[in-house]
Amino acid sequence: MSIQPVSPFSPLFSGQPIGASLAIRGLRSARAARDASTSGASVRELAGRTLDLRRALDAIRDVAGLRRSGSRPLAAATASANPLSISTSATAASLKSTDEVNALPTSFSPRGPSFAGSSSAEATVGGVYDGSQGDDTLTIRATIGGIVGLTLVRFEVRDGQNQLLDTVDYGLGQAGDVKTLSNGLTIRIGSGSVTANDSFQVDVWTSLGSAVDPTNPFDGTRNQDPNFEPSLSVGAGSFQVNGVGISVVASDSIDSVLAKINASAAGVTATFDTASERVVLTQNTPGSASTVTLGADTSGFLAATKLASATVTAGTDDERTKVIADVPSLSGIASGTYSINGTQFSVNVLTDSLDDVITAINQSGANATAGIGTSSKRFQIASTDANPLTLGDGTSGLFTALGVTTGTFEPRPGKRPTTKFEAPDKLRQRLEDFGKALDDVFRTKYSSEANLAATLVQGTLKSALARGFGATGSATSFGDHGLTLDFERPTRGVFDIDFAALRRAVEQDPREFGELLAGREGEPGLLDRIDEALADSARNLGRFLGSSSGLLLDVRG
């Protein structure tokens, strides 16, 4: 029977589509499509972790609601005319495969078929399918039975319309020989008996490309073959990551080698990105100073995973924390003085950062508070009382370089609403708990029956999180307000909290942070988007478990 790929628009899918490419990646083999529809313990485990995430989300909502609102006179204030051209977050250097590990546009399955009858000989399928039959099921039938290698054994290869494609003979002494078919596939029949009219089938696709299996051993055969591209293989040997040797044995797999890298002193997190079918190496230390280097490979691993010619994407620094002299966009600032409300300050561009300048202002007695808007990236400064705000460049040119007009600013008429989190430490803890629950959903290794279910849940959550942070659903990393998500390194953890940046966001601009979580007028916030994603995931998991009501019927409760 031909095994057809499942459409991303079939009843198995519900809620918002998460993209054809994701659906195809999740369905690259017929085995995955069959397993994903079968209920079992692994799917229930996934459902349980999703429910844990639901509880963690509710806990954030409880604390996020503890905001005290009020009003105060509009203080004298000013800000940069335009966003500052600086980076406000640090990223880590990374290196990834230059292409899919197996980028062949066609595929076939299985590699180790079984005869339908009593034949004892073992069949192996290989080669590269040239696509001449499109998506089809081929039948290989013995028309002359016998003992392979001792008597003549003949096979016919027919397509799904019963058209004869090839005739293959195994003569005396040919047991185990590889025979090439007209469509590029190969068959190998080992020694043993073959009963006349016994057959096996092979599904071939042009609509689904080949995919490497990161769990299969490098020396695996037939259905345990890792399925690298032809001429590429991995054997015993070693290679280096950041000067640290990583040993490889023939029985290793991609996954086990990545685990060795993660356990080594290389300072790198190694992951296999299923969606793009690439190996990703991410430096554990963010910033431009740390990198990822590879070399001295005697195992073939770097070539087989297409890392050998990969180039590093350099990490970036949070330029708020770099000394001013090292930030090109702040070159207009000179070492010297500036003043706020008559209080004189000094700045040294060789030792001070923009964060140091802001801290000096906020901790002084100048009755002013300063900061950089998380979303706007503008330098902002305001009086802390009802008096005017007076700014002077002095000899440093600080304010002019930041795009802030100097002079005196009067308090504005009217009042502005204020927001303050009453339990910022509890909010931080709840966010940390949510991050751990989210990591569990993305980092857990599920059995084959839950692979498609996990892909759906993870894709739906990733899309919701991206939209909540104002990113596209295809983005691999995004964040704001000290919260960062990176889906290229799920084994290390997709969710990270910069506690200093989080505290700064909660204390300096709680209104903006509250809107990130709860939304603005007419626009849902991060919490509501995740809430909706979890509801969609619950419905999908219910379908996988064969339940019309779904396991997580109380997901919103």
Q: Cα separation of 293 and 196, whole Å?
A: 57
Lowest mean pLDDT among 48-57, 389-398, 482-491: 482-491
Question: DSSP string of 71-98?
Answer: EEE---EEE-SS--S---S-B--EEE-S
| Under 8 Å between Cβ of 39 and 546 | yes
For the cut 90, the answer to whether the pLDDT of residue 418 exceeds it is no
Query: Measured between alpha carbons, how far is residue 482 from residues 52, 93, 260, 431, 500 in Å?
Result: 23, 19, 30, 11, 7
Identity at 456, one-letter amino acid code: L
For the cut 80, the answer to whether the pLDDT of residue 377 exceeds it is yes
Question: What pLDDT, on the 0 to 100 scale, is given for residue 525?
Answer: 80
Query: What H or E segment, with its residue span, contains residue 60?
Result: helix 41-64
Q: Tokens at residue 55, please?
A: 């509880």
Place of tokens 């790929």: 5
Question: What pLDDT, on the 0 to 100 scale, is given for residue 132?
Answer: 96
Per-residue confidence band for 87, with pLDDT thresholds at 50, 70 and 90? confident
| Under 8 Å between Cβ of 226 and 253 | yes
Q: Cα separation of 163 and 444, whole Å?
A: 46
Question: What pLDDT, on the 0 to 100 scale, is given for residue 73?
Answer: 57
Q: Tokens at residue 27, please?
A: 């369905």
For the cut 80, the answer to whether the pLDDT of residue 521 exceeds it is no
Using DSSP's 3-state secondary structure scheme, residue 62 falls into helix
Question: What pLDDT, on the 0 to 100 scale, is given for residue 12?
Answer: 28
Place of tokens 């039959």: 133
Q: Tokens at residue 333, please?
A: 């600032």
For the cut 50, the answer to whether the pLDDT of residue 406 exceeds it is yes
Nearest 5 degrees, angle CA 45-CA 49-CA 52? 140
Nearest by Cα to 253 from 445, 62, 59: 445
For the cut 60, the answer to whether the pLDDT of residue 398 exceeds it is yes
Using DSSP's 3-state secondary structure scheme, residue 211 falls into coil
- Residues 197-216 have pLDDT tens digits of 999 999 999 999 999 999 99
Lowest mean pLDDT among 230-244, 334-348, 530-544: 530-544
Mean predicted confidence (pLDDT) in 162-182? 96
Q: Cα separation of 230 and 238, whole Å?
A: 21
With the C-alpha atoms ordered 76, 81, 83, 84, is the resulting torsion angle positive or negative?
Answer: negative
Share of the chain above pLDDT 70, in %: 81
Q: How far apart are the first and last CA of the chain?
A: 44
Place of tokens 């000179």: 334
| Under 8 Å between Cβ of 327 and 352 | no
Lowest mean pLDDT among 248-262, 320-334, 373-387: 373-387
Who wins on pLDDT, 285 or 304? Answer: 304
The most confident of 324-338, 484-498, 539-553, by mean pLDDT: 324-338
Question: What pLDDT, on the 0 to 100 scale, is given for residue 109?
Answer: 95
- Residues 19-77 have pLDDT tens digits of 333 333 333 443 444 444 444 566 777 777 888 888 888 887 776 554 444 545 567 88
Instruction: Output the average pLDDT for the chain.
Output: 82
Question: DSSP string of 512-553?
Answer: HHHHHHHEETTEE-HHHHHHHHHHHHHHHHHHHTT-SS-TTT
The answer to pTM > 0.85 is no
Q: Cα separation of 438 and 461, whole Å?
A: 9
Per-residue confidence band for 277, with pLDDT thresholds at 50, 70 and 90? very high
Nearest by Cα to 468 from 453, 476, 478, 458: 478
Using DSSP's 3-state secondary structure scheme, residue 488 falls into coil
Using DSSP's 3-state secondary structure scheme, residue 192 falls into strand
Q: How far, in whole angstroms, is CA 364 from its chain's centroid?
A: 43
Task: Produce one character per residue of 255-274: b if its CB has 16 or more CB atoms within 10 Å, e if not.
Answer: bebbebbbebebebbbbbbb
Lowest mean pLDDT among 158-162, 378-382, 390-394, 445-449: 445-449
Question: What pLDDT, on the 0 to 100 scale, is given for residue 413?
Answer: 64
Nearest by Cα to 457 from 548, 549, 551, 525: 551
Using DSSP's 3-state secondary structure scheme, residue 466 falls into helix
For the cut 80, the answer to whether the pLDDT of residue 507 exceeds it is no
- Residues 529-550 have pLDDT tens digits of 888 888 887 777 766 665 433 3
Question: What pLDDT, on the 0 to 100 scale, is given for residue 1?
Answer: 32
Lowest mean pLDDT among 197-211, 351-365, 501-515, 524-538: 501-515
